[in-house]
Amino acid sequence: MAYVILQPCAAEKSGDCVDVCPVDCIEEGEDQFYINPDICIDCGACVAVCPVDAIVEESEMLPEEEIYLKKAEEFYANR
């Protein structure tokens, strides 16, 4: 299970999550930040510092939010 960054990040993009991630699994994309689900260790440090509560556990996403997990997977597949 990994964390996923949702739509509120697109408006904010503060980047606090990048600074606290102990495994450097968060990168800035064109429209928002993304968490690499293959590297995330589920520590939750990013959740605690997100000013817009845009980060949730994959298991807690609503069906309409699953697009953000797909966007992250696509973002990292192209790396």
55-72 pLDDT, tens digit each:
999 999 999 999 999 999
Query: Tell me, what's the pLDDT at 2?
Result: 86
Q: Which CATH architecture has domain 3-77?
A: 2-Layer Sandwich (3.30)
32 by Cβ neighbours in 10 Å (0-12 / 13-18 / 19+) ranks as buried
pTM comes to: 0.92
Radius of gyration of the chain (CA): 11
Query: Tell me, what's the pLDDT at 37?
Result: 87
Query: Tell me, what's the pLDDT at 3?
Result: 95
Whether residue 40 contacts residue 25, with contact meaning beta carbons closer than 8 Å, is answered with yes
> Which sequence spans correspond to the domains of the chain?
3-77
Spans of the chain, pLDDT less than 50: none
Whether residue 18 contacts residue 28, with contact meaning beta carbons closer than 8 Å, is answered with yes
